[in-house]
């Protein structure tokens, strides 16, 4: 209990040593601090800790921080957090040039630090997609995996889960001052897709080295050449349709010109020529529609050829297609997927 006696002495010297500038509510912080000291002396460490926490919210001094850490230690709080509380008191005391407080912290800190376990947790396979790891019910930062960190000695519950893998649970119990390494081996869930293991890579197709060796070949994508070959049907049909429509347009236009010449000669001998003009107009409309259709199919064909060259896997493939003749020219119909 000599540390308690030293802590009581700090009650008297700490506020004086750090009272260099007025702090709003300083008198409240000091009164709360003294209430905590009284509770600490009576052995009510939990109530005293609450008072020190309240005082520290108003004004953090090395004395307040020391007593807070001491009450955490005596009330059997989390050991790692207690060590951190002592270390914070040491930093504040060092900044204020308070060697007495530093000496008290060092005396309390040495045996506690020696008791802390050094824990390292790793996960295999590495880089599992959507991985979550819990330590004693709290989610661990993934950046901490593979790195050593301080933990209380004794029992710890470790859990891990990821899509496509069985849930992992294990109870570990590192001893005082022990160095403990836990390698979490995730097992694939029954019937899970191999894609559950998804290390981030720049490649567009899955690599055999990133998937389990007992099934990697069955999940590889088909070669790009095969996909490109099957997708060439649409551009070919579109190009053919455009050429045919253009040819029909030219032929109908020539026929319209010939009919117009003969209509002029015949109309000179008739009173009413409306039926002759309608016939020529119909041929002109068919020629125009054919050229418009040829332009549309030609544009579509160019886009299809370009899409096929740049992204074979995204180009549509044809299950059936046919060319037909309609009132205004040729048309292309079919099913794409």
Domain range annotation of the chain: 2-114, 117-196, 228-336
Distance CA 195, CA 185 (A): 18
pLDDT of 137 reads: 94
Q: How far is CA 268 from CA 122, 261, 282, in A?
A: 100, 11, 21
Output the DSSP codes for 257-301: HHHHHHHHHHHTT-S--HHHHHHHHHHHHHHHHHHHHHHHHHHHH
Q: What are phi and psi of 120, to 5 degrees?
A: -130, 130
pLDDT of 200 reads: 53
pLDDT of 210 reads: 42
CATH of segment(s) 117-196: 2.60.40.1120
Which residues are within 8 A (CB) of 125 and not within 5 positions of it... i.e. 6 or more apart?
Answer: 186, 197
pLDDT of 286 reads: 86
pLDDT of 215 reads: 38
Note down pLDDT in tens along the chain; length 337 residues.
Answer: 444 455 545 544 344 444 456 677 889 999 999 999 999 999 999 999 999 999 999 999 999 999 999 999 999 999 999 999 999 999 999 999 999 999 999 999 999 999 999 999 999 998 899 999 999 999 999 999 999 999 999 999 999 999 999 999 999 999 999 999 999 999 999 987 664 454 554 444 444 344 334 433 334 444 444 444 445 777 787 788 778 777 877 887 787 777 777 767 767 666 666 676 677 678 778 878 877 877 877 787 778 767 765 544 444 444 455 555 555 555 555 555 5
Distance CA 319, CA 335 (A): 6
Q: What residue has token string 């930093």?
A: 91
pLDDT of 261 reads: 74
Nearest to 149, CA basis, from 185, 122, 189, 126: 122
Distance CA 321, CA 160 (A): 53
pLDDT of 28 reads: 93
Q: How far is CA 200 from CA 185, 207, 210, 217, 299, in A?
A: 20, 11, 10, 20, 39
Fold of 2-114: 1.25.40
Q: What residue has token string 């912080």?
A: 29
Edge-first strand order for the sheet with 149-151 is 149-151, 117-124, 179-185
pTM: 0.48
The helices-and-strands tally (H runs, E runs) of the chain is 9, 9
* Cβ pair 199, 191 in contact under 8 A: no
pLDDT of 312 reads: 45
């Amino acid at each position: 209990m000599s540390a308690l006696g030293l802590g009581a002495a700090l009650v008297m010297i700490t506020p004086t040593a750090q009272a260099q500038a007025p702090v709003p509510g300083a008198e409240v912080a000091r009164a709360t601090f003294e209430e905590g000291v009284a509770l600490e002396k009576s052995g009510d460490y939990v109530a005293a800790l609450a008072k020190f926490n309240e005082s520290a919210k108003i004004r953090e001094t090395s004395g307040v921080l020391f007593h807070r850490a001491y009450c955490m230690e005596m009330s059997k709080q989390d050991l790692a957090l207690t060590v951190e509380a002592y270390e914070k008191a040491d930093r504040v005391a060092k900044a204020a040039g308070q060697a007495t407080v530093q000496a008290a912290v060092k005396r309390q800190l040495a045996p506690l630090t020696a008791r802390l376990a050094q824990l390292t947790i790793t996960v295999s396979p590495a880089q599992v997609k959507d991985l979550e790891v819990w330590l004693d019910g709290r989610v661990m930062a993934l950046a901490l995996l593979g790195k050593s960190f301080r933990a209380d000695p004794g029992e710890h519950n470790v859990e891990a889960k990821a899509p496509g893998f069985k849930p992992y649970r294990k109870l570990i119990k590192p001893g005082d001052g022990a160095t403990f390494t836990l390698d979490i081996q995730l097992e694939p869930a029954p019937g899970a897709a191999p894609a559950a293991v998804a290390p981030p890579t720049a490649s567009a197709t899955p690599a055999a080295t990133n998937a389990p060796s007992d099934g990697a070949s069955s999940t590889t994508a088909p070669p790009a050449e095969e996909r490109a070959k099957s997708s060439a049907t649409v551009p070919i049909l579109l190009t053919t349709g455009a050429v045919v429509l253009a040819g029909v347009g030219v032929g109908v236009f020539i026929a319209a010109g010939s009919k117009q010449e003969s209509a002029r000669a015949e109309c000179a001998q008739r009173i009413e020529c409306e039926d002759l003009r309608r016939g020529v107009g119909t041929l002109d409309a068919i020629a125009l529609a054919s050229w418009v259709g040829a332009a549309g199919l030609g544009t579509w064909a160019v886009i299809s050829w370009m899409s096929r060259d740049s992204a074979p896997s995204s180009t549509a493939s044809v299950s059936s297609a046919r060319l037909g003749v309609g009132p205004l020219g040729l048309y292309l119909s079919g099913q794409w997927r």
